[in-house]
Amino acid sequence: MRSLGFFLCYLSFTVALQATIDSLRQQLAQNNLNDTARITLLIDLAFYNSSTDPNAGIRYAEEAIRLAQETQQDIRLAKAYSYKALNLHQSGQDSLAIIWFKKAIQTARQRKQVINEASAQHNLALLYTDRGEYGKALAIRQQVNLLLEKAGDQQRLSNALNSTGAIHLHLANYPEALHFFQKSHQMALEGNEQYISQLALENIGLVHKKMGNYAKALHYYNQALAGYMNGQNALSKSNLLANIASLYDEQGNQTKALNLFKEALLINQEAGYPRGEARCLTGIATVYAGMKHYPEAFLFFRKADSLFVHSPDPNAMSALYTSWAEAIEAAPDSTLQHGGYGAANRLSITLSLAQKALSYAQSSELKEREMHLMYFISKVHEQLQEHPEALKSLHRYASLKDTLLGEDRKIAIVKKELQFEADRKELQNQLMLQRERTQQKLIIICATFLLLLGVIAFIIYKKRQNYRQRQQELLLQTKISDTEMKVLRLQMNPHFIFNCLNSISHYILKQDYKQADYYLTKFAKLMRTTLEYSQEKLIPLEDELDLLTHYIKLEQMRMNNTFAYSITVDPAIDIENTSVPPLILQPFVENSIWHGFSDGTSLGHLNITILQQNQHLLCTIEDNGKGRKVRRAQKRKSYGIQLTRERLQLLSNENGSHTADISINDLTPGTRVTVKLPIV
């Protein structure tokens, strides 16, 4: 069974607040009101009643018109005419509504009331859209958007853009529809217009639903629905509920679809909006037909049809008669007789309903539904042995299918564009987050630097007052500063930086630009990571090993691969959730490379092993280099190892016990360093 078409929500400058209406009525009941105040109150009441009690709205508008004419206050006539038309439209009297809208537009134009003219044209466009006369509606929309843009009225412009997108959506022009809905939503957010933003979100969801992306559609629907939970804008909420119900029906969740359609129906009944009632009844009937509950389906089809007689809606009527015809064609003979249809007349009744549906689809320019109906009608003609008519319908179906295949390609392109846009935004968000983190780190560094300057300035000032006290404080501060600077400097040996730059220069002179660029990229990444980790007390073991790997690979390139390396980690260790002090192993690896493999006479081997022993990590760095005896003979001293011992001592003190330690053993040849760390 073909699912019911969508229920598109339209905005009409209304906020259905009963409290507001009651307040206006109380003010109107006062005896000391002048004519101007009374006319204003009557117009406001006509406006607010349009979405709750259109008949009352008509009475208020007519009273405002009469009083304005008697007191010659023509300046308020255009708005009174427009609100009378609005209430006539809401009550299903479209022919009269069109007359009064045009009268409002003419009156506002004569008096150069731009906003009143735009408002009347806006609501007239809504009426034409409701009736499926999309060409007329779109022509008016263009005028409205131009008027509001010139007037600089952002609120009404965001509203009008949303309604313009709705027309493009009816015409299956999804790129344009999405453009207008997104523009409306952005403008509504900037102007803090929550209601308009909700409607735009709903219609964005509707675009995704039409393109088959149900997850995204439901996401936007739920965002919009959250704004309706306060009881405001009942009719708009009913449209949204019907849209969600239609989505669930297409997904096969008929129970949820029925409940939502019935909830929307109740809202329309309470608001006295017969066109909305008819749409919901059509939806309920279509769901029942899909469940093969044909007696219930026929009952609701008839109820919807009776309401459309007085409040026609070509788009919705086309959906009604399409689903009705399909239900009769599919129902068993016994069910047809129970529903008041003769089994012998099944095909003639089906054909009659399908042709009515086709007529409304063609008048509303609904090409996709027209294509579906042409194929359906051709099958009915075939069963009736009316072969020429069947062939004619089939040819029309083929022609429409060729046309719509182009539209399907457009939809596929739009889907790819939407996915690309989503990926682009996600990347932008990630870059923005990374930029914010970098800025935060720079702020911390600058703040630390400024604080340091302040401390120094304070020490200098105190020196003039108390030389001895200043000397002690300066000595302490200098020691702290020297220690901090040593940590930062020794975390990456300046000699290593110098040699790396020489290597890059060497590649450039050899015109090996690709290798130079690769080396420079790796070097820059290592330096940036080192700077980032220098701010951290602990980092994941996985990150420590990654950084160490980058460092060793750079050293391999610098030393022309005169040594090999391996890193082995105990599988029992969760390297993502085990933390170690940053760059805790790098000084020992550096010593092995610089002092063990510096002569390059034979291939060096560097083995790094991480094991778990009870609540400790045993990190072993073993090489087959020259060893410590040669280094001592050369009188070389490693400040990095001494600094690491101090860091481990601090780590042990923080843990409340001496649990971190270093042991260095001489090998033949080479050296083994074992770093014992507590598991954090």
The tens digit of pLDDT for each residue in 652-665 reads: 766 655 578 898 89
Half-sphere exposure for 279 (CA within 13 Å, toward CB): 31
Q: What residue ranges define each of the domains in the chain, with the CATH number in brackets?
A: 1-152 (1.25.40.10), 519-678 (3.30.565.10)
Per-residue pLDDT, 430: 65
Q: Kindly tell me if the per-residue pLDDT of 651 is higher than 80.
A: no
Task: Show the tokens assigned to 50.
Answer: 């349009």
Whether the Cβ atoms of residue 579 and residue 541 lie closer than 8 Å to each other: yes
Between 19-28, 58-67, 247-256, 664-673, the lowest mean confidence (pLDDT) is in 19-28
State which of 155-169, 400-414, 462-476 shows the largest mean pLDDT: 155-169
Q: Kindly tell me if the per-residue pLDDT of 470 is higher than 80.
A: no
Per-residue pLDDT, 606: 93
Rounded to an integer, the average pLDDT of 665-671 is 88
Per-residue pLDDT, 638: 61
Per-residue pLDDT, 471: 66
Name the residue with higher pLDDT: 443 or 637: 443
35/618 Cα distance (integer angstroms): 92
Per-residue pLDDT, 366: 77
Q: How many H helices and E strands in the chain?
A: 27, 7
264/278 Cα distance (integer angstroms): 11
**pLDDT-based confidence at 507, cuts 50/70/90?**
confident
297/334 Cα distance (integer angstroms): 15
**pLDDT-based confidence at 210, cuts 50/70/90?**
confident
| Mean pLDDT, all residues of the chain | 81
**pLDDT-based confidence at 488, cuts 50/70/90?**
very low
Rounded to an integer, the average pLDDT of 53-72 is 90
Task: Show the tokens assigned to 83.
Answer: 């609100």
Per-residue pLDDT, 225: 83
Per-residue pLDDT, 14: 36
**pLDDT-based confidence at 566, cuts 50/70/90?**
very high
* 306: number of Cβ within 10 Å: 12
**pLDDT-based confidence at 405, cuts 50/70/90?**
low
Between 97-101, 190-194, 473-477, the lowest mean confidence (pLDDT) is in 473-477
Helix (H) or strand (E) holding 50: none
Task: Show the tokens assigned to 627.
Answer: 């060893």
- How does pLDDT run across 278-301, given as a tens digit for each residue? 999 999 999 999 999 998 999 999
Name the residue with higher pLDDT: 657 or 356: 356
Q: Kindly tell me if the per-residue pLDDT of 468 is higher than 80.
A: no
State which of 14-28, 424-438, 607-621 shows the largest mean pLDDT: 607-621
Q: Kindly tell me if the per-residue pLDDT of 424 is higher than 70.
A: no
Q: Kindly tell me if the per-residue pLDDT of 417 is higher than 70.
A: no
Q: How does DSSP classify residue 594?
A: I
Per-residue pLDDT, 271: 82
Rounded to an integer, the average pLDDT of 55-77 is 89
Query: Phi and psi of 275, rounded to 5°?
Result: -65, -40
Task: Show the tokens assigned to 365.
Answer: 């320019």
580 class by beta-carbon count within 10 Å (0-12 exposed, 13-18 middle, 19+ buried): buried
pTM of the model: 0.44
Per-residue pLDDT, 280: 93
